[in-house]
Amino acid sequence: MFYGTELTCRLMLGTAQYPSPAVLREAIAASGVEVITMSLRREGPDGAAFRDLLSQSGCRILPNTAGCQTASEAVTTAHMARELFGTPWIKLEVTGHADTLQPDPFALVEAARILCADGFDVFPYTTEDLILGEKLVEAGCRVLMPWGAPIGSGRGLRNIDGLRAMRAHFTDIPLVIDAGIGAPSQAAHAMEMGFDAVLANTAVARAVDPVAMAAAFAKAVAAGHEAFRAGLMPPRDMASASTPIFGMAELS
């Protein structure tokens, strides 16, 4: 449940870097996603046509503020997105580090506070830092989007312990793994840990077959969530025979 909206698909799909609009359209359909993201600041000259293509997908659009480096830039971009798409949803990104694209925690909280007070439903792209997460929730965010690894790195869940701690701490806040996911198996792992959704972009868009990869991610996310609900067995330090010795027949 994201800001009162219940979704059936727990995969979200980014729309950048696809080889063609046709491939993007097919990937969206193959994935079965209900939410797609779009960056306003990184649009090309055909931005209006691209927005029309996404609007025709039937998905809910989650505009994002990718490329913004200050709170004021992010707030301005969010207002533009609300006017263009008629949605209060905004994925809030404020870049603080050029190499890792790690969010600026101070600007992120400042922008979140302004946007939440202005009626936006904010999806902040953050790290697994618990204090930062608390500050974002205090600012009014009802969803958190921690990274698995730096954007586009494909390294998966780099800080397993930190992400587990975040999931255990924010029991009532939907958590979406955003960034760094490079394979369907990594997406499944995130869902097995109890996260509510996964956002994928580069791993799908840059695949040899983006349409097939989109379908694979959808299956992996669904399988991971079902496994979490079913109850995964806890890891053991020692072997435990699946067939117990006690009660076995003695053959002579």
Domain residue limits at 184? 11-230
d(CA 228, CA 187): 13
Residue 245 lies in a domain: no
What pLDDT does 39 receive? 86
pLDDT value for 239: 85
Region for 17 from its dihedrals, namely left if φ exceeds 0, alpha if ψ lies in -120 to 50, beta otherwise: left
In a domain, 6, yes or no: no
Mean pLDDT over 16-43 rounds to: 89
Q: Which residue has the higher pLDDT, 41 or 6?
A: 6
Binding residues for 1-deoxy-D-xylulose 5-phosphate, as ranges, are 152, 179-180, 201-202
* Catalytic-labelled residue, pool 10, 82, 91, 135: 91
What pLDDT does 223 receive?
A: 97
91 is catalytic: yes
Does any domain span residue 107?
yes
- The more confidently predicted of residues 53 and 252 is 53
pLDDT above 90 coverage of the chain, percent: 77
- Residues 112, 141: contact at Cβ < 8 Å? yes
Rounded to whole angstroms, the Cα distance separating 74 from 121 reads 14
Cβ neighbours of residue 60 closer than 8 Å, sequence gap 6 or more: 5, 34, 35, 36, 87, 89
Q: What mean pLDDT is predicted for residues 172-183?
A: 95
Indicate whether 246 pLDDT > 80.
no
- State mean pLDDT over 31-57: 79
Q: Is residue 95 part of a domain?
A: yes
Average confidence (pLDDT) over 94-114: 93
pLDDT number for residue 55: 80
Q: Is residue 251 part of a domain?
A: no
In a domain, 241, yes or no: no
Domain harbouring 100, CATH code: 3.20.20.70
Answer yes or no: is pLDDT of 166 > 80: yes
Reported as type and span, the H/E element at residue 184 is: helix 184-192
Q: What is the pLDDT of residues 65-99, one digit of tens each?
A: 999 999 999 999 999 999 988 999 999 999 988 88
Mean pLDDT of 104-124: 97
Total domains in the chain come to: 1
User: Is there a contact between 164 and 204 (Cβ–Cβ < 8 Å)?
Assistant: no
Higher pLDDT, 128 or 49: 128
Closest CA to 222 of 12, 10, 59: 10
Annotated binding site: 152, 179-180, 201-202
Structural domain includes residue 235? no
Residue 19 lies in a domain: yes
Cα(203)–Cα(74) distance, rounded to whole angstroms? 26
pLDDT confidence bin for 41, thresholds 50/70/90:
low
Q: For position 188, what pLDDT does the model report?
A: 97
Contact 180, 148 (CB under 8 A): yes
**Residue 133 confidence (pLDDT):** 97
pLDDT of residue 177: 97
pLDDT of residue 252: 62
Q: pLDDT at residue 46 above 70?
A: no
H or E element that contains 203: helix 202-205
Rounded distance, CA 213 to CA 217, Å?
Answer: 6
